[in-house]
C-alpha cells in the first residue's frame, strides 16, 4: 500500500492526513510535488491518469482516488472511532454535510483560486478574473450558512467530530491561503474552527 501525498496548502491530501491522524493510522506515503508539476508527469500519471493528488495504491495494484473515498476505505477497515457517522441516519447526515462543504463552499473557492490567484496564472491557459472575483460574495454567503448551522452545535452533524468537519476545516484553511477569510462576525463558525484547530490532528 502507498499513499501519494502532497504538502500544504493542498487541501485534499491534508484531509486524508488529518483523518489518518484521528484514527491513529500510519500508512506508507510518497510526496508528489504539485509546484514542480510532478502530478502531471508521466510517472505519476501511470498511477493516476487524472493527475490529481491524493491517491492510494493498494497491494493488489488497485488505485483509489478522491480524498473522501480514500478515507471511506480506511473507515471500513478501521471503524473505531467512527468518523463517517453511526447508523443509516448518522452516516447520511455526515455525508450530507460533507457534500454541502464540497459543492457549496469549495466550488466557489476553487473558482477564485483558479481564476484570480498568481500561482495558478502560470498553469491555467486562460484566467477569467472577473468570473473568479464574482465568486467571493458566494463564499461569504455560504460561510454564513455554516455559521448559522453551528450556532447550537459543536460539530457539523450535531453529534461529534466527523469527516464533514475535516473537509470544512481544510477548505477554510485553503480559503485563508488564497486570501479569503471567514466573515468577522461569524462567531459560531469561528468558535467551531478554534475547536477543530486545537485538535492534534490539525497539525497534519
Match 466550488 to its residue by C-alpha cell. 107
Q: Is the predicted pLDDT of residue 143 greater than 90, yes or no?
A: yes
pLDDT recorded at residue 125: 87
CB atoms within 10 A of CB 110: 19
Whether the CB-CB separation of 204 and 14 falls below 8 Å is answered with: yes
Query: CA–CA separation, 106 vs 58, rounded Å?
Result: 28
Domain ranges of the chain: 2-77, 87-203
Q: From residue 125, give the alpha-carbon distance in Å to each of 72, 114, 115, 120, 121.
A: 34, 10, 10, 9, 8
Q: The C-alpha cell of 135 is what?
A: 465568486
Q: Is the predicted pLDDT of residue 124 greater than 90, yes or no?
A: no
Cα 5 from chain centroid (whole Å): 13
| Backbone phi, psi, residue 12, to 5° | -70, -45
Instruction: Say which range, 23-27, 33-37, 40-44, has the weakest mean pLDDT.
Output: 33-37
Domains 2-77 and 87-203 share a fold: no
Q: Per the omega criterion (within 30 degrees of 0), is the bond before 81 cis?
A: yes
User: What class is the 2-77 domain?
Assistant: alpha beta
Query: CA–CA separation, 77 vs 83, rounded Å?
Result: 12
Whether the CB-CB separation of 97 and 157 falls below 8 Å is answered with: yes
- Burial class from Cβ neighbours inside 10 Å (0-12, 13-18, 19+) for residue 51 reads middle
| Backbone phi, psi, residue 3, to 5° | -95, 120
Segment 155-199, tens digit of pLDDT: 999 999 999 999 999 999 999 999 999 999 999 999 999 999 999
CATH of domain 87-203: 1.20.1050.10
Q: Is the predicted pLDDT of residue 150 greater than 90, yes or no?
A: yes
Query: CA–CA separation, 122 vs 64, rounded Å?
Result: 29
Q: Is the predicted pLDDT of residue 97 greater than 90, yes or no?
A: yes
Amino acid at each position: 500500500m502507498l499513499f501519494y501525498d502532497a504538502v500544504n496548502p493542498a487541501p485534499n491530501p491534508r484531509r486524508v492526513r488529518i483523518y489518518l491522524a484521528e484514527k491513529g493510522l500510519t500508512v506508507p506515503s510518497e510526496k508528489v510535488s504539485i509546484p514542480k508539476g510532478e502530478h502531471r508527469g508521466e510517472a505519476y500519471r501511470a498511477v493516476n491518469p487524472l493527475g490529481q493528488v491524493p491517491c492510494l495504491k493498494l497491494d493488489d495494484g488497485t488505485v483509489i482516488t478522491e480524498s473522501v473515498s480514500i478515507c471511506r476505505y480506511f473507515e471500513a477497515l478501521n471503524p473505531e472511532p467512527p468518523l463517517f457517522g453511526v447508523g443509516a441516519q448518522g452516516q447520511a447526515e455526515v455525508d450530507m454535510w460533507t457534500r454541502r462543504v464540497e459543492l457549496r463552499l469549495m466550488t466557489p473557492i476553487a473558482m477564485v483560486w483558479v481564476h484570480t490567484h498568481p500561482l495558478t496564472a502560470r498553469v491555467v491557459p486562460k484566467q477569467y478574473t472577473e468570473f473568479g472575483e464574482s465568486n467571493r460574495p458566494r463564499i461569504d454567503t455560504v460561510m454564513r450558512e455554516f455559521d448559522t448551522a453551528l450556532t447550537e452545535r459543536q460539530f457539523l452533524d450535531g453529534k461529534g467530530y466527523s469527516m464533514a468537519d475535516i473537509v470544512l476545516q481544510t477548505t477554510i484553511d485553503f480559503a485563508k491561503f488564497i486570501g479569503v477569510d471567514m466573515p468577522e462576525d461569524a462567531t459560531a463558525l469561528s468558535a467551531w474552527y478554534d475547536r477543530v484547530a486545537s485538535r492534534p490532528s490539525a497539525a497534519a
